[in-house]
Structure 1
């Protein structure tokens, strides 16, 4: 019993002396260019006295951050806290566990407030130079996976010296922002010596799109924590004419519901991570949906419209339509349009009565992609196939574009070109299959073949006859607010059956 009292007395005496030895003095001058701990010379979680109030300020130079390691154990309901305030005045409260926070230039503060004296706090601060971190410069129109290491910096730069707009997309989630983007910092300029303007989460969640003041925006993730998102930067002028812009990333399929965007003119850029081909499987117009243009790449790229659909046309007979590119943009006129995309479509090669569509070279949709393809549309019954070579650019000697129509037991009808052509005339032939092919794979070559399929017995399609179909547009695209350019392409095919 005496031994037990002796040990307890020694522990109380030691603890009491230790608490008295802790220096809780609140610094009066801002801390800068140094590293240390608080309380001073203490290396572990420490119980703070009651009614304690201290605000410690930090001055941070451009190209540096303070790395805070924060430990807290706050008594429930005590109202005590450890609060970090960053350079923009945003506050984060830490109540338990161990946390890390990187404080960007130019100021930060840590406030500790107690009442009961029962809570414990401790933190370490390290002054870290970051200006020499490895930097990668990326032109606008480029997508960026937001999974990168803590010592790499990514800068989006406008080649046209325009302001930069950044949008993000969570993979397979069009409704929610990735919380991991709170760990990514945004700097308004060419590097991280530029002004800090917030986390990427805050930057892209504002009601109005944030843009750079100059021609560059820089991203860095000092924490190195992964996200499930991508970023896309565009030139400000490429989007100024539109009401909304949405970046969508999907692996296999995605559906954009009607009224997802509420503007008159809305832009969607789609990026598929799971395949280099997507199929437009459904396009549904409501009463306030009027037109959809589909074009390669992003709004910052040359706006060549390769597909266009209007609400008054036989849109359902144009499905499915293959888009041989990973990234492409749709511009919608009117909010009431639903869009469905998939990386698979079992009926892509299945003819049906009244079907309309196009076959494209991948090189038209993505720079560096090959031009070659070979697709056979095959039916169990006799069809009348109408086709045209809308555009064929044969860049490499020995390359050919070819269409064959045939049926078992008969020699196929074949049309072949080994030189560039454009709209050489509509061909019509009967058969059970239609084969379209480009023999070659030069990225500088390309082709577009349009087709229409009807039952050879003259049975009429169940939907209205085609009045408007897709078009090829090479002129500059103007925003809908400045007027909408509507070009109808009428196809009248011969009734003669071969």
Structure 2
């Protein structure tokens, strides 16, 4: 940062010492669409100077302010811009541009010293010609908004809420460059920048929320628009971007009788896995973590439920075959880890492991499936696979579900379903692997299966018999030796 400031100082034009810095009295309007202060160019301002310059800005316009100053961050002097939402923005040597939205704005210059130089120009710009892009609530989008374009999010249920998450996982200060309007277009009321809007959990008063970026700079974040009615049921609601190269770990809690939620969106993988889940208060009852597809807007049924009364050690990892899903936390205090990439640990099982296998069409009923689903569980030693196929839906002729259990040294056991069925009953077989192959690629074709891995009773019984034979033989040897 120091190198940047030095570079800026070197390239700035030398300020004039004799410029007219008399504070303008009249409010600046669109009748003076362009101008500058001081008129002669950058000037050194005297000590104890205080000037407020006011702008009147009609709806459908903005004022572009280009600023030149030499203010370091520890300077007692200041150049401050107040927007129509009454937010204050202090400008420093590294800041050179600001957009004032309708309908009012102020620039205040104050000094204690006589060493600060200032200069700014203004230009009124018509923004009524910007292109509109309409999106329904429930939409997730990258916030690199197209130039000369505004984005309108429409709700059918009332106010619109908007939440953001940066790609890096850290606070994205560039969100301040996205402006928020409470209405259908840029003629609506400006209510602040997106950074402040999301930090304060604000909601539009109308059924539309409009976003625009006048600056054109990159904003490395994603955002989600929700009907406020859909998320107001939660004590806290959050949005988080997942990346394949960064694991997500969180400590979440919800008050007694309350529920909080996080909507996850993976930017580079269609499969994620819960790899760790631990309730911190195992002696209390009623604590739950639930997972359902998509956002709260779609209101899908929970596909996964973790209860504090059940051991979660064997329930992870758990596969999630969609890039957008919502996790809710009911009156619990819990630690959670999620990865967004293929997992070898998912395929490797041992006794005590349990979970669910869902077809991709259940995780995402609106997305067309392009390839058959195949899953492979492998165990180092023979185990007992217990599986309960709770539903199979076959839409097109020729589609089928096949579950096979086997090992290299034994015959295989397999069940096949090529018609729609429910509650097929629990089945079990011994082996070192279990495969699940579903050829259905229609949105209406699906299956749901619960599985558990247990100790191989046959192997365990044989081991006990071998030990008994060995002990009997050993006792006989000892007895003969003593005699």
TM-score interval, normalised by the smaller of the two chains: 0.7 to 0.9
Cα distance, 1:29 vs structure 2:
3.3
The CA distance in 2 between the partners of 1:387 and 1:79, in whole Å, is 71
Residue of structure 2 aligned with 1:283, choices 277, 287, 304: 277
In 2: Cα distance, 1:317 partner to 1:116 partner: 68
Match in the other structure for 1:162: 158
Report deviation, 1:87: 0.7
Q: Which residue of 2 aligns with 1:223?
A: 215
Q: Which sits farther off after the overlay, 366-375 or 231-240?
A: 366-375
Equivalents in 1 of 2:19, 2:248: separation in Å?
Answer: 64
Report whether the alignment pairs 1:352 with 2:364: no
Say yes or no: does 1:149 pair with 2:146: yes
Over 3 Å counting, the alpha-carbon distance change for 1:35 and 1:399 in structure 2 is: same
Shift of 1:19: 6.6
Question: Which of 168, 187, 192 is the matching residue for 1:193?
Answer: 187
CA contact (8 A) 1:47 1:117 kept: yes
Q: Is 1:435 aligned to residue 435 of structure 2? A: yes
How far off its partner does 1:132 sit? 2.2
- How many residues are treated as equivalent by the alignment? 439
Residue 242 of structure 1: aligned partner: 234
Paired residue for 1:368?
367
Structure 1 residue 125 displacement after superposition:
0.6
Tell me what 1:181 maps to: 175
Q: Tell me the distance in 1 between the aligned counterparts of 2:138 and 2:337.
A: 23
1:333 pairs, out of 317, 330, 347, with 330
Q: Does 1:383 align with 2:383?
A: yes
Deviations 1:91-140 (A, max 9, x none): 22334355100001110012233465543211111111112212211111
For the Cα contact (< 8 Å) 2:252–2:329, is it kept in 1?
no
Once the two structures are superposed, the pairs formed by residues 389-404 of structure 1 within 5 Å of their partners are 389-404=389-404
Q: Deviations over 1:231-286 (max 9, x none)?
A: 11111221222211111112034344334666731111111223110111111011
Deviation sequence 1:283-327 (CA, Å, 0-9, x none) = 101116811111000111123111111011132111111001111
Q: Is the 8 A contact 1:177 1:201 kept in 2?
A: no
Looking at structure 2, the residues matched to 305 and 351 of structure 1 have their Cα atoms a distance apart, in angstroms, of 24
State the TM-score, normalized to the length of structure 2.
Answer: 0.84
Q: How much does 1:198 deviate?
A: 0.7
Deviates more, 1:276-285 or 1:381-390: 381-390
Give the superposition deviation at 1:38.
2.2
Unaligned runs of 5+ in 1: 1-14, 461-498
Distance in 2 (alpha carbons) for counterparts of 1:149 and 1:214? 24
Specify whether residues 204 and 282 from structure 1 end up closer, same or farther in structure 2 by C-alpha distance, changes over 3 A only: same
Q: CA deviation at 1:55?
A: 2.0
Say which SS state the counterpart of residue 203 (structure 1) adopts. Answer: helix
SS of the equivalent of 2:106 reads strand
Q: CA separation in 1, counterparts of 2:75 and 2:333?
A: 52
User: Matched residues in 1 for 2:113 and 2:248: separation?
Assistant: 55
1:232 to 217, 224, 232: 224
Q: Which residue of 1 aligns with 2:261?
A: 267
Give the match's secondary structure for 2:247: strand
CA RMSD of aligned residues (A): 2.6
Q: Aligned partners of 1:449 and 1:57: how far apart in 2?
A: 67
Deviation at 1:361, TM superposition (A): 1.4
Over 3 Å counting, the alpha-carbon distance change for 1:411 and 1:268 in structure 2 is same
Q: Tell me the CA shift for residue 79 of structure 1.
A: 4.2
Which SS does the other structure have where 2:347 is aligned?
coil
Write 1 or 2 for the structure with the bigger share of strand: 2
Q: Are residue 64 (structure 1) and residue 57 (structure 2) matched?
A: no
SS in 2 for 1:347: helix
Alignment deviations for residues 409-450 of structure 1 (CA, whole Å, 9 cap, x no partner): 544222111122211222222222111010132233221122
Task: State the alpha-carbon separation in 2 of the partners of residues 50 and 273 from structure 1.
Answer: 52
Q: Residue in 1 aligned with 2:5? A: none
| 1:494 alignment partner in structure 2 | none
Contact 2:406 2:431 in 1 (8 A): yes
Distance 1:400 1:74, change over 3 A: closer
Q: Is the 8 A contact 1:75 1:119 kept in 2?
A: no
Give the match for residue 38 of structure 1.
36
SS in 2 for 1:300: coil
Larger helix proportion of the pair: 2
**CA deviation vs aligned residue, 1:177-234 (integer Å, no higher than 9, x gap):** 311111111111111211111111111112xx31111211111111122222211111
Question: Relative to structure 1, is the Cα distance of residues 47 and 75 closer, same or farther in structure 2, using a 3 angstrom cutoff?
Answer: farther
TM-score for the superposition, normalised by structure 1: 0.81
Match of 1:257 in 2: 250
Distance (Å, rounded) in 2 between the aligned partners of 1:450 and 1:392:
12
